[in-house]
Structure 1
Amino acid sequence: MTQANIVIVEDEPIVAMDIKRCLKQLGYQVAGVAANSEDAVQQIVDNRPDLVLMDIRLKGDIDGIETAWRIRQRVNVPIVYLTAHSDPETLERAKFTEPYGYILKPYEDRDLHTTIEMAIHRFHKVTEIVDNERSLQMILRSIGDAVIATDSYGYVTYMNAVAEVVTGLRRSDAVGRKMCDMLAFNDEGGRIAANHVIEQVLRDGTVASLGKNNFVTDSRSDSDQDDSTVRPLRDADGYINGAVLIVQCREKIPNRKFVDDEINKFQESENIHFTQYIQNLLANLLVSYGIHDGSLAVNLDIDENIRLEVETAYSCGLIINELVVISLKNAFEDNPSGEITISFKAQNGHYTLTVGDDGRPYGDDWDSSNIETFGMRIVYSIAEQLGGNVEHSSEPRNEFQIKFPQKHG
């Protein structure tokens, strides 16, 4: 018999006691009983139950539906409404809180048991799917190569920041379009239409190796040669439900392997100690450029209480890596002595990342928005995917600033 923990939110003491008795007879644990909204939210936050049984009509200014909204903002827990009210207006309000069940009073014990079991089972499945999707998104965005994914019809469903740079296409413009309408490859024998490659992979389930073929898109007709492969994507039952194009380009980004290796240490963690991650990244970067005598100081000003999601930390790590490389190449190329400063602050729902140096000015002809380097295109693409923007100034010192919104939920 299951031992799921349940919190009861019911303002009628006799009814609450009857529900508690029924739940115990069915083999459940009752983690708490609350009679009002404030008490309910506090108990659920403290106890983290497996399910909440919520009466819609509670005494006071805050009813059960509003209480469910407040709970969902704090805790991810399935809620089942238990009430005598089934009018259309109430149901319409209740459904927007995405409940996992709705039981009308009076109820039979077996109906209560069935609804609870189905709600908990569905919640676990939904949570698993969401976690898998988040992990996949993080892998696709964080992988060191360019990645473009399609559905089973060849329509683009995902493109990471590196792919934006490699193809010259914006993700917002590419998603929803057929890959064959945007992309082709050049080889020694001429142009290869992307639709032929995608169709073969989707039809046969084979891996297509394109070797070192050049991309041809609306935005890019010439490029460095990149090793490319197209692989099938399969669902849990083994059926092909899409394809993924992977373009190897790690070697184009200095220190990229170390950035990836460092972030991989945290793949099982929800959040990263950002200061430590950046300290390790920069120490390796300076050594790789032969700077290990202390002549170039790197000062960090990062809020100690900041813990970032792995995906966000990785994106910021890439931006910092690229901007420090630009500083080393432009401000300290002839004289590697001075100071690089990195600041990361959280304020008013936004993060602000600042990278600056006191080295040689980049010059009036140095335009960060038009610079044709892989690194700067990476910086702009990642900043855009974070929902932010890049600002650059050279007076009184070289400085880049990226501001983007914090994630919630």
Structure 2
Amino acid sequence: MSKNGKHTQHDQDRKALEEELETERAINFFAISLIDQTTVEEVLWDVAKNCIARLNFVDCVVYMLDESRNVLIQKAAHGPKNPRSYEIFQPIEIPVGKGIVGSVAQTGQPELIADTSQDARYIRDDDMRYSEITVPIVLEGEVVGIIDAEHPEKNFFKPRHLHILTSIARLCAQKIRRVQIEQAYRQTERQLLENNKRIAEAKLMALRMQMNPHFVFNSLNAINKFVLQNDVDEASLYLNKFSRLMRQIIVNTQTEWVPLRHELKAIETYVELERLRSDNSFDFTLTVGRTLSQDTVQVPPLLIHPYVENAIWHGLLPQKAEKPHLQIDCQQVAGFLVISIADNGVGREASKRAQANSLTAHKSHGSRIAEERLQIVNKIYGVDARIDVADLVDSAGVPAGTCVTFTMKLK
């Protein structure tokens, strides 16, 4: 081989190596660029943009297959078809089997056209271009899209372009599949959360419905007392307040949240009934902080009623020497609603002993239901609601009642 021949071969080998390295760099560039894309739309636009920027193509259009209509729809483009970001100028649709794009979608085989003027399948879009390269995007053996590029010069596209674009199409298909899997997972997760929320809401409704007969039973016992005593006036007064309470309870339990004012009104009415039933044997005070808006603050209905009932039945009614007193205080503290229910009754330990020694002991399950409701409310709405119970003692350490505190983040 002559000296000139050796130089020529060396130059060709070097050029081939450079092209091979450039091909690998281009493919790696696309692979890295696609990592950050999170939707199918982003994937397609990223491919179209980088075909221009990295491969020096004049234009690039990405089609996706509409299986229901068996047509290819332009979904992303870069070049003359893309005057503004994420916008295609007069997008077209191509039936599968029609044109070069449609033929590749039908056969699944990429094509490189050196002179489109000699190919009867060529479909002119915005302008006449003489070179075209078309590769399928194949997902699980099925063509789902097409990457198509054109150039005004004849014989512009080379076999290395076909190799690069085929590799890009494969990367594109893999990324689309990952995106679809991730989207399906997120959709399933959202659906699961929604189903769990519906189940929790249904359970919450069932628990609220359990509260109503509990109050009705206690109030009917009080009415029965007046009937047996033949006290017509007191019975009439009690029935009037009882019917008002029932209306309030029915209204309040229609929704998951009610204005604080409505809830406090129901509590006041209930306490009035209990005071009537017990011949006004205890005092009652309700205070609301000035900064607390009773009409805008929302609370779960009937949630603190069981604790008010427990304070009366198990704390105050078992008589003590001093005047029994029930104090309910509502305040807004650092973005939280704080409701305290305090009684100066016998205390929890004495109440438990009294119930244990009584054959007719009243077994209240209202607080258990309230705690279960509280867990569900927190799970659905994330309001950080909680109930804390503290035993009160006097200066000598003697039990002096109980304080229940309900705390909830304001919505």
TM-score normalised by length of structure 2: 0.36
More strand by share: 1
Larger Rg: 2
